[in-house]
């Protein structure tokens, strides 16, 4: 005898709905686990990249992939003497550059994109006022790490800051301008070159002549002030700080600044007087330029460093 029964349609739907909920929850769990794994993987990659960055050895691949300069342009800059590299040249040799040269190449690449040939882009990239300060402010190590805290015993890297003062190297945010800190170069009518910081009025520090083939500096790069310290020991040890005026390319300068002077072709003129005709002309052009080219130097450096650290796509 067959006993016939009935199944509630509501129960069937409830069962199916329950199965769908379980499947959905399972998928979400897998997605969350994948996202968590990717996050851990990225964090590990970032830590590795930061350790490599601290070693200050950037090779051809780093330069071309991060700055956007072609291999040919990079080699031409080396041949011209615009950049100092370590290592030997020749087939199979690995050329490397340090932190300062790597950051300077970010600036040179932007001058080149603005229309300057490699030779002039190299000169303008070197003769950049306050470059030491710009490069230091844009460096990810003091921004992300706290030197006052003990280093990690496993990695020997300082501990990360819990709340960095700026978000320039936040992998979850894109590279962007920061008007509060950024330094810019403004070129007026393809002639007068100005330096601008924090949206202040530009300060003219040089002039392009001979159709952009010559740069005459109004800023004394041949008289840079270097601060030294001397320690005296008697009853009480103390330090005395003193300044010395030296050329930027002096033999005592760091490797990146020991540039080929034949390439640099440095020329200086003093136009600091208020009634100087060229300064008056520059002020007039600056107020009403026909063409104005602006380069955000700080953002250019940060973008290249973010690419190196894997935060942004390579060029």
pLDDT tens sequence across 37-66: 444 444 558 888 888 998 889 999 999 999
Residue 17 is predicted with a pLDDT of 54
Residue 160 pLDDT level (bands cut at 50, 70, 90): confident
Q: What is the pTM of this model?
A: 0.80
Residue with tokens 């342009």: 73
- According to the model, what pLDDT value does residue 4 have? 39
Judge contact between 187 and 297, C-beta under 8 A: no
Q: How far apart are the C-alpha atoms of 120 and 107, rounded to whole Å?
A: 12
Q: Say yes or no to pLDDT of 148 above 90.
A: no
Per-residue pLDDT, 133: 94
pLDDT of residue 22: 53
Structure tokens at 264: 């640099």
Count Cβ atoms below 10 Å from residue 78 Cβ, excluding itself.
Answer: 17
- Looking at per-residue pLDDT, the higher value among 283 and 5 belongs to 283
Are 205 and 186 contacting, i.e. CB atoms less than 8 angstroms apart?
A: no
If we measure between CA atoms, which residue out of 285, 264, 302, 260 comes closest to residue 176? 302
- Alpha-helical regions (H) of 165-273: 261-264
Give me the residue spans of the domains in the chain.
13-54, 56-308
| Sequence-ordered list of residues with C-beta below 8 angstroms from that of 41, at least 6 positions apart, any chain | none
- Cα(267)–Cα(214) distance, rounded to whole angstroms? 9
């Amino acid at each position: 005898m067959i006993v016939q029964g009935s199944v509630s349609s509501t129960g069937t739907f409830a069962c199916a709905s329950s199965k769908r909920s379980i499947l959905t929850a399972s998928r979400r769990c897998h997605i969350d686990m994948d996202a968590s794994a990717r996050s851990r993987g990225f964090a590990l990659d970032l830590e590795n990249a930061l350790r490599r960055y601290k070693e200050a050895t950037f090779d051809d691949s780093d330069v071309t992939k991060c700055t956007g300069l072609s291999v040919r342009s990079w080699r031409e800059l080396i041949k011209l003497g615009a950049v100092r590299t370590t290592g030997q040249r020749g087939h199979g040799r690995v050329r490397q550059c340090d932190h300062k040269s790597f950051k300077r190449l970010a600036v040179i690449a932007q001058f080149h994109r603005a229309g300057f040939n490699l030779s002039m882009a190299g000169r303008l990239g070197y003769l950049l006022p306050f470059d030491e300060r710009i490069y230091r402010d844009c460096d990810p190590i003091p921004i992300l790490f706290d030197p006052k805290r003990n280093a990690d015993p496993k990695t020997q890297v300082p501990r990360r800051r819990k709340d960095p003062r700026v978000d320039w190297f936040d992998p979850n945010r894109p590279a962007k301008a920061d008007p509060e800190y950024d330094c810019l170069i403004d070129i007026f009518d393809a002639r007068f070159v100005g330096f601008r910081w924090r949206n202040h009025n530009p300060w003219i520090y040089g002039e392009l002549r001979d159709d952009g083939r010559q740069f005459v500096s109004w800023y004394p790069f041949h008289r840079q002030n270097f601060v030294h310290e001397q320690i005296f020991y008697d009853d009480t040890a103390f330090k005395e700080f003193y300044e010395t005026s030296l050329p930027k390319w002096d033999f005592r300068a760091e490797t990146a600044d020991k540039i080929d002077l034949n390439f640099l072709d440095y020329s200086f003129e003093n136009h600091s007087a208020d009634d100087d005709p060229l300064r008056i002309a520059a002020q007039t052009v600056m107020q009403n330029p026909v063409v104005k080219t602006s380069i955000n130097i700080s953002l250019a450096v940060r973008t290249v460093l973010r690419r190196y650290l894997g935060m942004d796509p390579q060029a």
